[in-house]
Amino acid sequence: MQFALNDIQLSIKKMAREITVKEFAPRAAHVDETGEFPWDNVAQMRDAGFLGMTIPEEYGGGGFDEVSFNCVVEEISRACISTSGILCAHFLGVKPLIIAGSEEQKRKYLPLLAGEMLGSFAITEANAGSDAAAMATSAARHGDEYVLNGTKVFITNGGEAGQTIVFAKTDPTAGARGVSSFIVEKGTPGLSFGKKENKMGDRGSCIRELIFEDCRVPRENRVGKEGDGFKIAMKTLDDTRTSIGAQAVGLAQGAFDAALDYAKQRVVFGKPIAQHQAIAFMLADMATEIEAARLLVYRAAALLDAQAERYSAESAMAKLFASEMSHRVVHKALQIHGGYGYMKEYPIERFYRDQRIIEIYEGTSEIQRMVISSNLIR
Ligand SMILES: Cc1cc2nc3c(=O)[nH]c(=O)nc-3n(C[C@H](O)[C@H](O)[C@H](O)COP(=O)(O)OP(=O)(O)OC[C@H]3O[C@@H](n4cnc5c(N)ncnc54)[C@H](O)[C@@H]3O)c2cc1C
């Protein structure tokens, strides 16, 4: 069993680290405070090739493996979860095309997504989040077009992305089997966007409603067969949720680094708090948990690279453990900072707020437990 990253993975990780330290870290507090969509960071990611990383080279991408991609997400998340969130949501818009897109769709959209166009993925509705198959958005076939009606909520990159993969019912009587997926470009008549939501954390990556009112989409924009949309969505999430685990590992590492520095400097009762065993043991537990989660994330990504038959449960385990681990780590990191950790002057309160979303999006912890247990039981 190989536990080390290879030379290419190591150099990509190093490059992501350098860009993060130079570009994203200095802007992270401003992005959080203002909630501005960090287009500068998106441009940096585009220039570094991150937007096209796992897109095959024949479609203009970098052709890199999932382990490398997860390393990039991890490194960016050490400083700015909003930026890594934009990247992860972009790949939610890319993956369905790689999984089920026609050759024409791949040739048309993947080169754009590898460079100038942000992607997004719209499945959630006000009454259909975890229970996504309960969606009400409809796509009625009229000749060579589908007419979409309904509203999606909480869509990351919504309004900023040039393209969205939208899931809608072509057969409202058939449950999950009645769902189909479509490429909808920004600017398509009948598609409008709601206001930018005001979030507790992860404040730079915007979420908006997508409102479809007789939005006409050409038949050639349907991804996969009619009725295959739900399967495509679930396969996409199997492939992408590991990267949310990578966000958790990176965020926890960022919080840990801040806590370790602080613990070495802050003196109480005549010595640095790191030398009080209660604090030293907290640091030991944090470092151990981060390492365990990192291994789960890399393993799930490696299984995906190896096109293993099974990785649905493994990617859910990586996301579940890493996200809940990051909760415990930010809690301890703030505790180590004492009262100062509660102040805006220190980055730890931002990590604390940002962390919470990792346990919710791309499937809550409860949904990950359902995925894992159903794989165990069947
Ligand atoms: C910042 C942010 C970004 C997002 N980005 C996107 C995006 O880009 N695209 C997109 O389509 N969606 C996106 N979402 C939506 C997100 O995936 C959903 O919010 C999430 O899946 C949970 O759905 P819900 O909010 O409707 O909660 P609900 O499904 O109503 O769940 C409420 C609670 O019940 C629990 N629960 C649900 N079902 C069960 C069950 N069977 N057993 C036990 N407990 C259960 C849940 O775990 C949760 O604790 C985003 C959300 C946020 C907040």
- Please give the angle made by the CA atoms of 277, 321 and 273, to the nearest 5 degrees: 15
**Whether residues 104 and 150 fall in one domain:** no
Instruction: Assess whether 260 and 357 both reside in one domain.
Output: yes
Centre of ligand 1 to C-alpha 359, Å, is 10
Low-confidence ranges of the chain (pLDDT < 70): none
Tokens (6 digits) for 152: 């999606």
- Cα 155 to Cα 365: distance, rounded to the nearest angstrom: 19
Active site positions, annotated:
362
Q: What tens digit of pLDDT does each residue of 301-312 get?
A: 999 999 888 899
The set of protein residues with a Cβ atom below 6 angstroms from ligand 1 is 89, 120-124, 129-130, 154-156, 199, 202, 207, 357, 360-361, 363-364, 366-367
Same domain, 197 and 274: no
Q: Are residues 216 and 239 in the same domain?
A: no
337 and 299 within one domain: yes
The confidence score (pLDDT) of residue 133 equals 97
3-state secondary structure 183-206: EEECCCCCEEECCCCCCCCCCCCC
Q: Is residue 2 part of a domain?
A: no
Q: Report the number of distinct structural domains present in the chain.
A: 3
Question: For position 210, what pLDDT does the model report?
Answer: 98
135 and 28 in one domain?
no
Answer whether residue 188 is part of any domain.
yes
Torsion sign, CA atoms 189, 91, 311, 73 = negative
Shared domain check, 133 and 219: yes
Establish how many alpha carbons lie within 13 A of residue 321's alpha carbon, considering only the half-sphere containing its beta carbon. 21
Nearest to 278 by CA among 335, 325, 343, 330: 335
Instruction: Say how far apart CA 68 and CA 242 lie, in whole Å.
Output: 12
- Which residue, 113, 128, 151, sits at the end of a domain? 113
Pairing state between β 267-268 and 271-272: antiparallel
> Domain for residue 345, yes or no?
yes
Distance of alpha carbon 344 from the chain centroid: 25
* Domain assignment of residue 324, yes or no: yes
Between CA 212 and CA 219, with CA 217 as vertex, the angle to 5 degrees is: 145
CATH code for the domain in which residue 153 is found: 2.40.110.10
Instruction: At 189, give phi and psi (nearest 5°).
Output: -55, 140
CA of residue 350 to ligand 1 center, whole Å: 22
Q: What is the SS3 assignment for 117?
A: coil
323 CA distance to ligand 1 centroid (A)? 15
> 48 near 15, Cβ under 8 Å?
yes
Domain presence at residue 240 = yes
Select from 113, 135, 170 the last residue of a domain.
113
For a ligand 1 pocket test, name from 90, 130, 366, 370 the mutation site with the most ligand atoms within 8 angstroms of its C-beta.
Answer: 130
CATH number of the domain enclosing 362: 1.20.140.10
The C-alpha atoms of residue 358 and residue 365 are separated, in whole angstroms, by 9
**CATH code, domain with 28:** 1.10.540.10
> Residues 242, 353: one domain?
yes
- Tell me, yes or no, whether 246 and 373 share the same domain: yes
State pTM to two decimals.
0.97
Residue 1 is assigned to a structural domain of this protein: no
Measuring from atom 43 of ligand 1, which residue has the nearest CA? 366
> What residue's CA is closest to ligand 1, atom 31?
130
Query: Are 237 and 370 within one domain?
Result: yes
Reading the block at residue 227, the tokens are 């009725």
Tokens of 352: 């604390």
Taking the centre of ligand 1 as the mean of its atom positions, its distance from the CA of residue 73, in whole angstroms, is 22
Domain of residue 356 covers: 231-377
Q: Is residue 123 part of a domain?
A: yes
Q: Which of 88, 113, 138 delimits the end of a domain?
A: 113
Percent of the chain with pLDDT over 70: 100
* 154 plus 243 within the same structural domain: no
Q: Are residues 86 and 172 in the same domain?
A: no
Report if residue 46 sits inside a domain. Answer: yes
